[in-house]
Structure formats: structure tokens, C-alpha cells
Amino acid sequence: MHSLKFIAATLLLTVISGCNVSMPPINVPTNLSDINAKLATPKPLSQDEAGLGLKEALKKGVAKGTEGLMKPGGFAQNIAYKILLPEEIRNLEQKIRNNALLNAAIGKELDKTIDAMNAGAEKAMSKALPIFTNAITNMSFMDAMKILTGGQGAATQYLQTNTTAQLGQAFQPEIKSALESVAIYNHWTPIVNTVNKNKKLLGLTQDVNPNLELYVTDKAMSALFKEIEIQENAIRKDPINRTSQLLQKVFKYADQN
């Protein structure tokens, strides 16, 4: 009996050894560097990370942009953003300055108006911040991804498209209030009245009646969008401005895409 069992076992082993059974290869890292490389491979950017990272960058840029413009002198002492007289009056300014009578009558008032417009814009700047913040907070993931990979100025363009109408409704009354707080109409109304009374002397055929609130509002918004774009592009261009791990990960993805 034992001999039969031994013979059966021997035959079984012979059959098994004669079969060409192939096992799938197992990819095992051959050294420590291979293992470290696999562990170091970054995880793909998630939807939450993309959205939160971009919103963090935008809020940072908006805050920094408005902060600089709302300071005293943010407009008046800034060559790029200083608000000058409306074009209708600016075209006449040199004639007024060169005319002794007109310059004595309204020359100083022109200076006061320029100062008041810039002071008004500076005081009104903070009113735009909640509008921008709300637009950023409500941004969709699809919008965030388009902005993230859209290159320089993409975020600013998004804000401009989605906030200009609201800014026009909310920002202009604040500008008007700010202008009134520095008594601008004490200077502006006499200027317009004097110019219109002397329009023939100045070579005008129609009265000048520009909307000063709208004019200053447009100038203030234009300066704000330019400043936000500067801040946005600084984050895109220079990694040193990516001040958190999330910003670093999100804009590294943007750099690669």
C-alpha cells in the first residue's frame, strides 16, 4: 500500500513539473529610489483644492489692490491712477489757465475739483470689496478651472464681466456720497456754470454738463481692475507670492497646464 502511494505521488509531481505554467510578473521596485519616486508622486488636483486655491488667490489680490487705492493719496499721488478733469473741461483747461480773468475766477476751483475727485475715489474704494468678495465666493468649479488655466488676467476679466453691472449700481452712489463729503459741488457747479457762460470765448457751441459721479466711478473702477490684474499676475508669475501650500499646489498645476 505504501509503495502504491509513493508511486502515485511521484507520477503527480512528474506531471506537474512537465507542465509549462507561467505566472504573471510582479513589478517590484528594485531599489529605494524607485520606491521614493512612487511615494513622492503628487496627487492630482481635486475640485475642492482648485476652487479654494483660486478663491484664496483672488481674495488676496482684491484685498491688496483695494488696500493701496483706498489709502490717502492712493489716487492723487499715483501717476497711473490720478483722476484728471473730465475731457470736456480738460480740453479747455489750458485756455482757462492762460486767460487772466478766467484763471482768476475758476483756476483755483479747478485744482480743488481735481483734489476732491481723487479724495472721493479713495474714500469710496472700500465699497467695492464686498461686491468682489461675493462674486469670488459664488464662483463655480468650472469657472475656477477656466480661470486657473486661462493665463494672465483671466481672473480679472472674470471679475470685470461679473461685477461691473453691480458695481455701477452700488459703487456710483457711494462715489457721489464721497464727493459730497468733500464738498466737491461747491467747486464743480461754479466751474461748469462759468464755462457755459463763456463758451463762445472758449470756442464751444454747446453747454458742458458731464456726469461727475459716473465719470469718477468709471475712473475708480478702471484703476481697481488694473490693480487687481497686477496682483493676479504677480501670483501667476512669481512663486514667492504663493504664500500657502494650497496656492503653491494650485498654481503649479496652472503652470503645467
132 CB-near residues (< 8 Å, 6+ apart): 58, 62, 66, 159, 163, 228
> Residue 222: what pLDDT?
93
> Residue 35: what pLDDT?
46
Distances (CA, A) of 126 to 48, 115, 134, 177, 220: 29, 19, 14, 13, 11
pLDDT in tens, 12-30: 445 445 545 454 554 545 5
- Looking at the domain assignment, is residue 7 inside a domain? no
Helix (H, G, I), strand (E, B) or coil at 225: helix
Domain, as residue range, for 190: 46-256
39-66 mean pLDDT:
73
**Alpha carbon distance 17, 13 (integer Å):** 6
How distant is the alpha carbon of residue 120 from its chain centre? 22
- Looking at the domain assignment, is residue 40 inside a domain? no
pLDDT in tens, 104-163: 888 888 888 888 889 888 888 888 888 888 988 888 888 888 887 788 888 899 999 998
Lowest mean per-residue pLDDT among 68-72, 146-150, 212-216: 146-150
- Looking at the domain assignment, is residue 144 inside a domain? yes
- Looking at the domain assignment, is residue 205 inside a domain? yes
> Residue 42: what pLDDT?
52
> Residue 1: what pLDDT?
54
- Looking at the domain assignment, is residue 28 inside a domain? no
What total number of domains does the chain contain?
A: 1
pTM: 0.71
- Cell readout for 140 is 463655480
Higher-confidence position of 10 and 158: 158
- Looking at the domain assignment, is residue 185 inside a domain? yes
- Looking at the domain assignment, is residue 74 inside a domain? yes
Average pLDDT taken over every residue of the chain: 78
Encode burial over 182-198: b for 16+ CB neighbours within 10 A, e otherwise: bebeebbeebbebbeeb
- Looking at the domain assignment, is residue 217 inside a domain? yes
Amino acid identity, position 117: M
